[in-house]
Amino acid sequence: MKIGEMRAMPAAELEKQVSELRAELARERAVAAGGTRPENPGKICGLKKNIARMLTVINEKKRGAMPPGPGAKAETKALAQQKPQAEEKAGPVAKEAEKHAAKSVEVKPKKAEAKGKAGAKAKEQKKGQKGVKRA
């Protein structure tokens, strides 16, 4: 079942479908656990995906958050056209600042650099003491 068909169905019917799919999934898992070869090996995966899709649609309906419809593309294009105008008003200095802000990444120093010279000296002393036994 496609997501568009699921969104067209009422929530009560979707919940009924989910319970049916869960029962079918349990049967398929029992067949697979019994050692017999299932008719369609990919059916379990498909059932799980359909259950997840239905639960997603149910939760969207409960929250009232529906994904954007077909008119959303036109709104997105309108917003994209407005954005360059705002950047032109800000000026070239603001554009450069945005570029540098996006590129700035914090670089952590290497362990040897963090330890500094004292760390390097300690390593040299350890190398010299390898053959010496301590009392």
> 102 lies in a domain?
no
Tokens found for residue 127: 């190398």
What pLDDT is stored for residue 71 in this prediction?
Answer: 52
> 43 lies in a domain?
yes
Q: Is the pLDDT of residue 47 over 70?
A: yes
If you write DSSP's letter for every residue of the chain in order, what string do you get?
--HHHHHHS-HHHHHHHHHHHHHHHHHHHHHHHTTPPPS-TTHHHHHHHHHHHHHHHHHHHHHT-PPP-TTHHHHHHHHHHHHHHHHHHH-HHHHHHHHHHHH----PPPHHHHH-HHHHHHHHHHHHTTTPPP-
> 28 lies in a domain?
yes
Q: Region 94-99: what's the mean pLDDT?
A: 68
Q: Region 83-89: what's the mean pLDDT?
A: 53
What pLDDT is stored for residue 41 in this prediction?
Answer: 83
Number of domains composing the chain: 1
> 74 lies in a domain?
no
Q: Does the pTM exceed 0.75?
A: no
CB 55 within 8 A of CB 18: yes
> 53 lies in a domain?
yes
Tokens found for residue 28: 């398929």
Q: Region 114-124: what's the mean pLDDT?
A: 62
29 is in which domain, residue-wise?
3-63
What pLDDT is stored for residue 1 in this prediction?
Answer: 79
Dump pLDDT digits (tens) for 98-116. Answer: 666 666 555 666 665 555 5
> 25 lies in a domain?
yes
Q: How far, in Å, CA of 123 to CA of 42, rounded?
A: 57
Half-sphere exposure (CA, 13 Å, Cβ side) for 81?
6
> 22 lies in a domain?
yes
Q: Average per-residue pLDDT in the chain?
A: 75
CB 88 within 8 A of CB 82: no
Q: Is the pLDDT of residue 49 over 70?
A: yes
CATH code for position 40: 1.10.287.310
